Every structure is written in C-alpha cells, then in structure tokens.
Chain A
C-alpha cells in the first residue's frame, strides 16, 4: 500500500488510514494530517529527506520514516501549479 513517503514531487493524494501508534504521529495529526485530507508533496532537502508536504495551504516538514505511517489512496494526481493547492 502506498504511503505519503512514496508520493512523487508535485503530486497529491488523500490520506486513507493512519497508524496512530507511530512516533510523533499524533503531533502531525494536530497539524492537519488526518484521514480525508489531500496532501501534496512539494519537495525535499538534499538527499531526499525530510519531505515538504502541504495540506490546504500549510507546509509541514516531515521525515520520510514518519511519512510511512500515513497510507494514501492509489489515485495520486498531479496538483495544479498554484501557490496554494
């Protein structure tokens, strides 16, 4: 199953299920990464980690290993080029 860590740059997908037992996951949920939210992959730092994800205009930096706790549905789509998705 695909997770937020498998999303390609510039693509967005909807979170389907979250493993709430993962470290720091509750904190990310408090920032808005919850089931049903559409999340876009905006880029990475050098080496591909951490990721910059954006959820309804808010950018959040997350490490790849934490992004794996967030499963997304299969139909990732290329997001529009606007500043705020």
Chain B
C-alpha cells in the first residue's frame, strides 16, 4: 500500500466545498500529538476534530503508519497526530515504542504540545499515563471523554479540582459521539502552544527532580530521556545517557531511587498511589442509573452465554455477507455484462472492442462485483472492534488458544484476518513475546480473508449444487468448510512453529477488557470508506494492469483467419473452434503450456494454471484473469463466466472443472499465500526477509499438496469422468 500523495484523499473533499469556505481555511501553524489509553475514545475525538481532513502516511525513514489531520480553529489551524493508544510509556511493545519515539521527536519533529485523552470511567489508568507525559515538559491539554458513561455508572468528576491536581493543566469535558464540549476544546487548542508548561508532576517528584538535575548537568539530554534511561536498563536511552554522562551516573541514580526493586514496579507503585488518591478526591457519586442494558450485559457476561453469543455473532456475520450482498452483486454483474455487450455491439469485433470488453470490463468487473460482500464483512469486523467485542473474544478463547501454544492475545489478529491479513499482521504488535508474535503472523494469512471470497463465491456458485442438506444449504456448508480449513491450517501452523523453531516459555496473557460501547457512526464510516478506497485502488491499479497484460498476451499474435483449423473437432461451431485455436497459439497459450505439466496432477489445464500464476501478486486477480481468458476464448460474448467455466473442456472433450478439481482448487486458495501486500507486511513487521520467504514457500507447498490430494482422491472416488 503506497502512501497517498499530498492532495489525494482530502483534495477530493476540498473540491466539493463551496469557494467561500475555502478562503477561511488556514494552514496549520502548530503540531499537537493526540495521545491516550486504548479505547479512551481517542480516535472518535480525532475524527470529530479533523473530519475528512485526514491523511495516512508513514513516518519519515521508518515504515510505521502515521495518522495526521488538520483541525480548523478560531483564526488558525493545527495539525493533529494520532498516536497509538497506550497505557504507559516505557513498555516494550511496538506501539509503545512508536509513541515514545514520536513524542521525543526521534522519528518525527517534536510536537508543540499534547492533547491527552482521558476516559472518565478509566480515570485511574488515564492519570497514570498523564503523569508520565508531564515529564516531557510540553504544553498539555486534557480532553475528558466518556463522562456521560461515567454518569450513567454513578460517577461525576470535578474538572476544576482535577485541573488543580494536575498543576493547572486545562481539563475539558467532551462527548465525542455527540460533539458536546468540542467547541470548548477547540478554543483551548487554539492557544495550547502558549499554555504554561507543567514543571514537576505530583505523583513522583523525587524522580522528576533527580532526572531534571542530571539532564541539566549533561546539557544535551531532556528530562524524559534520562527518565527512560533510568527506568529501562540496557535500553536505547540507557546507552545514550551512558555515552553522554559516563557509565556510573545512571546506575547510581537508579540505586538511590529504586533500591533493589525493578524500576517499573517502583514507578507503578508511586504513580498509581497518587492516581488513586486524586481519583477519589475529584470524583463523587452521582445517582446511579440502573439501566436495562447493564443488567443484560451482566447476564451475558457469564462464561457459557458469552461463548455461545460469540459463536452466534460469527454465524450472523457470515450469513449477512452472503445474503445481504446478493442484490447489489447482481446489479453490478448485470451492469458489467450490459456494458460489455454494448461496447461489442457499437465497436464491432476489432482490437479496441476486445480490449475494452474482454480486457477491462470482464477483467476488472469480475473483481469489483465483490465490493458489496467485502464492505459488509469489514463493516462487521469494524463494529466488533469498536464495541470492544474483539477483546472479549480474546478473553473467551484464551484457553482454546493455549492448546496450540498461543494466548488469547492472538485471537484479535486472527479474527481480523477474516477481513484482511495486512491490518491483522500489524495488530500483532500488541503481543509482547517475539516468538508468539511471529507464530501469530504466520498463522494469520491462513484465515479466509475477503480477497478469497470472490474465488470461493465464483466456484461454489458454479459447481456446488444449490440443494439443502438437512437444515443447511450445501453451498453454505462448503463455504463454511473452507473457513474451517483456513482456521485449521493457521492453528496447526502455530502449533508446529511453537513446538519447533519458535519454542519458548508458556505465553502469559493479560489484556485490558474495554466496557461494551455503542460504535460511533462517523468512526465506522471513516474506517469503511478507507477499506473501500484501498480495494478500489487495488482493482484500479494491480488488477487493472494484470488484466490488461493478460488480455494482450491472450489476444496476440493474431492468427490468420483464412488459415485452416489445426485440429477440427466435431460438434462445435466454427467460431468457437477458431477462438480456441487462436487462444492456444497466443503468447499466453504458449506460456501456459510450458507450466501445464506442473499443475496437471491437480487437474488444471493451462488456462487455470496461468490464471493462478497471474494471481500471485493478489489472489483476487485469478478471477479477473479467468474472466479475461474465457471472454477472449469465446467468440460470442453472451453467457456469464460461470457458464463459460462449466463449458470448458480438455481437447478430448472431458470437462475440466470436475467437482474434485474445483474442490482442490479451493483448497489451494484456502492455504496459499497469493498476496504481495501480505508478504511485504510480514517483511516489514518481522524486519527480515526470512519469515516472508518461509511463509510463502511453506504455504505454497501446503496448498499444492492439499489440492493434489483432494483432486487425486476425489477423482478415484468419483471414477473417470
């Protein structure tokens, strides 16, 4: 995924805004980092403040995603940087290191101030992070979110008193979902750069003072650098500080502050004691609203109902993906077929008409058709994530994951792999142990992602009879079986890795469980639009290019139309024979015949083989290529791809797409790693080529063997066709 150009997503939105409002737009003068605990409503607030003026790119020099946006303020504007949600600075997870590096200006220029998002229902943990952030000595502003939730839970917070406990940092109550308090927050943001900088936090003044003293002596280090050096022996800051101050200063200070205790334990004790005291001072009990919803949640939150509900919601998701999307997909299909027929009718049978109808419309159209399904799937995954339900699933599934040597923490990436493995692999950053993280990364691409849906949907609709089996539909059961096959492949891989190359101590499991929350429509829509944009961009670039190349390889060189047919076959029209002959002597036909022997044991002819090979950069391309190949190969353009596949035969007249061959092909797609984006993200997240190459080779081999076994055994059982 490339980073968007300067004017790309926001440029399009800006053009739709009337001229009069462009004139009052300001260029951002200051950059503020938005930071807070996970699930504190930080992203909702960020979206509320910046609206559509957002960009996603990378930090300069490092390949870590960076979300920025512009907020329009009175008479000015500011750039906001959305940092990953974290509980504490100084942790070892990737997200925590990114946040610290961004705050200290290591991977970006240092922000001019901080907008700290504190969840009123989680004041205890919010205050802990806040006190750590004070050591940065930057102007700060606190947005207190979820106070409506806190009130419903019987708690009201005295924001003036809280502000005094924080040494005068402004505290603004906001409800990001309704926009209440956002204008107050904006007027504070407008003057944030000149807000007084907090000097010494109250939770652990001894640490702040000693670190400040050492930083002053040294000259070129900040107080925060010294604190990081003190708290994380052997870390990057420790080496930096030892180089600047000599090897004895930091260990001496450590001894004075922590004695023989682990530094992080002492810090947690000190700061949380203060957080507890402040929390009980600033909050008072409000009348508790005993809500019906709370009672239902309490009942559902018991082991068996919760687990049953989890599986029920998964069934609902997959049901919805298929039944809700059908009308939309039929509409797109009819549109593409109509367009193709119209192009052929109005342009005749020349090169241009074939290029447009067979190359572009048939190729790209056969992939675009799956946009409704993919968006519905993503919608559900985003909702599960935003309601806090994915974390709950991790909690419920921990003991099951323990059997394969992983923990519940791996459940979240694996569930989001059902949408796409790329964000899922990035979500493994929260797993602290490297071996557990890599095992999860290797298991994730096995999960049935949305790009596999086009292939499954096409093949199942064409070759699995639409009949009922007991209460279920056979097509649905086959699809469900393919999902299970993916899950089994992933879990067995994790198990294999954890007992061989990545053997390690039993993983421990800890996870913050967010309260159930209503998802915010704006946040959900922004995430969904982002996914739609990525999918259409892929269809417009990668899939488009491959479709064009494949069309050209299949169309050229042209055969002499007057020449006699090489092998006359009885029972077929002259046009079809001519088209087939043209196809088999095209460049693609020649290439396909070279690789055909490799895939022949799987029952694939050269068309399927070359479609699969063309699909290695992105697996959904295979559908586009088959669309193009079978469109070029047939003279008449009527009939859907399904009908063309059913009619495909070997030269001796046997059907190519027999049930064993189709099942084998689907098994191949359940397990193979045909996705350049996944390979790239594995390389990025593991920081070496070793794991992506291993994953690719391993998954391709498993897929080939699986397809081979299914085809051979299936053919034996069904007898020669």
Contact = CB atoms under 8 A, between A and B. Distances in A.
Q: Interface extent on B, as a size class?
A: 35 or more
Given A30-B88, A57-B122, A84-B153, A20 B261 contact: yes
Contacts, number: 131
A60 B510 CA distance: 7
Interface string B261-295: 11011001100110110010000000010000010
B509 A56 contact: no
A45 B399 contact: yes
Contacts of B302: 43
B128 to A, nearest CB: 7
B125 A46 contact: no
A16 interface: no
Interface string B494-513: 00000000000100111111
A54 to B, nearest CB: 9
A83 B294 contact: yes
A46 B510 contact: no
B398 A82 contact: no
A18 interface: yes
Contacts of B399: 45-47, 49-50
Nearest to B272: A34
A35 interface: yes
A27 B303 contact: no
- Interface class of chain B by DSSP: helix
Interface string B388-402: 000000111111000
Given A30-B264, A82-B153, A84-B153, A56 B269 contact: no
B91 A30 contact: yes
A83 B153 contact: yes
B121 interface: yes
B269 A60 contact: no
B28 interface: no
A66 to B, nearest CB: 6
B154 interface: yes
A80 B304 CA distance: 24
Interface in B507-527: 508-515
Contacts of B397: 45
B408 A27 contact: no
Contacts of A66: 508-510
A27 B394 CA distance: 18
Given A34-B269, A36-B276, A66-B510, 14 more contacts: A18-B265, A26-B264, A27-B432, A29-B264, A29-B268, A30-B264, A31-B87, A31-B510, A32-B128, A50-B509, A58-B125, A61-B509, A62-B510, A82-B154
13 contacts: A30-B87, A31-B512, A37-B276, A46-B304, A47-B303, A49-B398, A49-B399, A50-B395, A52-B301, A56-B279, A59-B515, A66-B509, A84-B121
